[in-house]
Structure 1
Amino acid sequence: MRDTSRRRRTAGATGKALVAGALLVLAVPGSAYANSASVTVRTPGATAGPSVADSSVSADAACAGGLVSGGGIDQAVGTGAGVNGNHVLGSEPSGDGSTEYTGTTGVVGTDVAYWIAKGGSGGQVNSSFSTTPYTMCLSSTLIDHTQVVMNKANTPTVAATVGLVTATCPANTVLLGGGALVSPANSGNLKVIGSFPTFDDSAHDYGRKAAADGESNPDSWSAVGWDNSANAADETYAYAICSGSGINVSGVTVKVRNSEAAGPDTASTGQNATATCGSTDGTLVSGGAAVSGGSPTSADYAGPGSAGDHLNGAFPSDSSGNPVADGTTTASSWTAFAHTGGMASTTNHTDAWALCANDGV
């Protein structure tokens, strides 16, 4: 850190020049502080299951003495029979590691320290099914409190239609990450197919169009539910993780990085996409994932080509898409993994988003 202590004034022109030079150095814009945001990834490893058709399994990861800025899920599907059955039901913040925020909408939690990963099975299961949770534990000089905003909607109630809901951060806060959940958990056909950063403005159709690569400071998070069949009881929940109220966030920039891959379109196959924070973007604090029938950053979210298409992963990774280990402090990429059902699909796209935070001023 630059020594800003007062220097003794010396006589003569040389002393005056030195003082003037010091003042010029101090006046350089943006040079006062470096990015202090850092993240440690925590994961307890895989939880086996579901082992029964039309059921679910939950696992959580905890931040000990830290703040959750985001979290993720990675599912194993195995090979052979049943590989299409495992799917994401939820990737969501929690206050205690087991309780889900599903009640009244609005600010539902502050300074949360847990992340829940929830997997569900369809009509078939595989002995290799498992669900692994990840939580991003944030430390920052400027952001020392967080709050979770939840929004929900009774959707999708029509088969193979997009059920989208958006949660928006309060004014004068910054979005750090977000999550998604669908219920009921035992329907077998209901799943999360999208969880991504966005903006509550007309250019993004108020959350229906995702934040694009290179955009800064999104203020909202959208979740997308998808069901093979019509179910009047379906609910989709969106969670936005925002900085705490009353915090000066004028020096915080959150940069969005997005990567998109074509597919998966062949039955019983998968596709991944990996987004990476650039060297000047800041620290990876969270990420999102989607499988859709179009490019969600350039148009309103479109459903995938088949009713059985689903997500199996949204997690911190290396640049090659491999999940990082517990305790990693250098993760800079986020990977999405999408999978088809037992039927061939068309025009699918897999998207990953990385949110990169810089709290320097």
Structure 2
Amino acid sequence: MEATTLRHHRTKRTTVGTALLTGALLVLAAPGAAYANSVAVTVKTPGATLGPSAVDSSLSTDAQCASGLVSGGGIDQAIGTGSGVNGNHVLGSEPSSDGSTEFTGTAGVVATDPAHWIAKGGTGGQLNSAFSTTPYAMCLTSSLIDHTQVVMNKANTPTTASTVGLVTASCPSGSVLLGGGALVSPGNTGNFKAIASFPTFDNAAHDYGRKAAADGETNPDSWSAVGWDNSTDASNETYAYAICSGSGINVSGVTVTVRNSEVSGPTSGSTGQTATASCGGADGALVSGGAAIDGGGVTGTDFTGPGSAGDHLNGSFPSDSGGNPVADGTTTAASWTAAAHTGGMASSGNHTDAWALCANDGV
């Protein structure tokens, strides 16, 4: 297994309480005083774009926040029925400054306050006229978080068929992880795909990004992406993106809670499976999410790939609790759904994972 982690030194931050004297009245902020959560998210999506319509090709489409900050985003693919259903797969779900530019240059902080989210789909050797890709942007407002920054990390991986190409990007010290994304390149080989994009921690307990954040864990600081290929290609690149709060912002009152759901399957050839994770009532607002098709147990052990080289993702998107994608303009989304699919072969041991990230800035 190949893995690359971009790490940042972390320092502690302190806050100073203040007292306001108005006339003879002294008002003190009592320790542990509760304030209402101000985090709110609006989901934006333009709907589906048909395609790709040629073998070994890709299609890119984007969603844009008219206001607020992109805290994460998603992708949902239609695959149709009958022949060709194995051909559509996720190549990327990633932030962008303008809806077309991909952050693939030097690793590090690559953008501030992006307002677009790209969804990128690709085909293998099979086609279906129903193929389409739908992007989703999670547009956040918060009294504490008024800027974001994107950290990208990349690696020349995987270069061998059916091996895990894992890359991790970590937020700078003093910031909060809000979401993340993934991209694989090249996107025209038909065999290369992104099979995982999930929250994690840059620490020994999580093997520096190789183990995913577990259900109920709080304030992850990193995001991992996994590339997967059913052929050997020395040119493969996998990119991970961490969406972090802006530099210099006091985020001591922000809590991000991870919710994870893992479901067995898919295992039969040419079949799919979904998993849905939901924010609890006290967790705060859904700000982003992640997805994976894997060997199972990825929150307790290092990430392992699925059972077959052709296994892939068809979606990672905001949804209702039943796994249905939400509509444009939704302000009440509280769940995140992962959609996984096998290739044409049976695949033993597969699991589908979904992660929901829920933010609360009340203190």
TM-score (norm 2): 0.93
TM alignment of 1:110-125, pairs within 5 A: 110-125=112-127
| In structure 1, distance between residues paired with 2:122 and 2:253 | 41
TM alignment of 1:271-282, pairs within 5 A: 271-282=273-284
* 1:287-321 deviations in Å (ceiling 9; x for gaps): 00000012110100001000000000000000000
- C-alpha displacement at 1:66, in angstroms? 1.7
SS at match of 1:284: strand
SS at match of 2:208: helix
The aligned amino acid for 1:153 is A
| In structure 2, distance between residues paired with 1:290 and 1:193 | 6
Pair 1:204-2:206 in alignment? yes
Pair 1:327-2:332 in alignment? no
Counterpart in 2 of 1:290? 292
SS at match of 1:205: helix
* 1:196-253 deviations in Å (ceiling 9; x for gaps): 0000000000000000000000000000000000000000000000000000000000
Pair 1:30-2:67 in alignment? no
Richer in strand (by share): 2
Counterpart in 2 of 1:259? 261
Pair 1:243-2:238 in alignment? no
* Number of matched pairs: 345
Q: Is the 8 A contact 2:91 2:120 kept in 1?
A: yes
* 1:160-197 deviations in Å (ceiling 9; x for gaps): 00000000000010000000000001010000000000
Counterpart in 1 of 2:185? 183
| In structure 2, distance between residues paired with 1:149 and 1:30 | 33
| In structure 2, distance between residues paired with 1:28 and 1:148 | 33
* 1:259-286 deviations in Å (ceiling 9; x for gaps): 0100000100000000000000010000
Aligned match of 1:78 in 77, 80, 93?
80
Pair 1:339-2:341 in alignment? yes
Counterpart in 2 of 1:309? 311
TM alignment of 1:114-263, pairs within 5 A: 114-263=116-265
The aligned amino acid for 1:29 is G
Counterpart in 2 of 1:13? none
Unaligned 5+ segments in structure 1 are 10-18
| In structure 2, distance between residues paired with 1:321 and 1:118 | 21
- C-alpha displacement at 1:65, in angstroms? 2.4
Q: Is the 8 A contact 2:20 2:27 kept in 1?
A: no
SS at match of 2:207: helix
Pair 1:69-2:71 in alignment? yes
Unaligned 5+ segments in structure 2 are 1-18
SS at match of 1:275: strand
| In structure 1, distance between residues paired with 2:23 and 2:157 | 70
Counterpart in 1 of 2:46? 44
The aligned amino acid for 2:313 is L
SS at match of 2:298: coil
| In structure 1, distance between residues paired with 2:73 and 2:348 | 30
Pair 1:358-2:360 in alignment? yes
| In structure 2, distance between residues paired with 1:215 and 1:68 | 22
Counterpart in 1 of 2:13? none
| In structure 1, distance between residues paired with 2:22 and 2:157 | 66
- C-alpha displacement at 1:42, in angstroms? 0.1
| In structure 1, distance between residues paired with 2:199 and 2:52 | 29
TM alignment of 1:92-103, pairs within 5 A: 92-103=94-105
SS at match of 1:261: strand
Runs of 4+ in 1 over 4 A off after TM superposition: 4-9
| In structure 1, distance between residues paired with 2:45 and 2:308 | 32
The aligned amino acid for 2:179 is G
* 1:40-95 deviations in Å (ceiling 9; x for gaps): 00000000001100000010000012210000000000001110010000000000
| In structure 1, distance between residues paired with 2:31 and 2:220 | 28
The aligned amino acid for 2:189 is S
SS at match of 2:206: helix
| In structure 2, distance between residues paired with 1:6 and 1:92 | 48
- C-alpha displacement at 1:29, in angstroms? 2.0
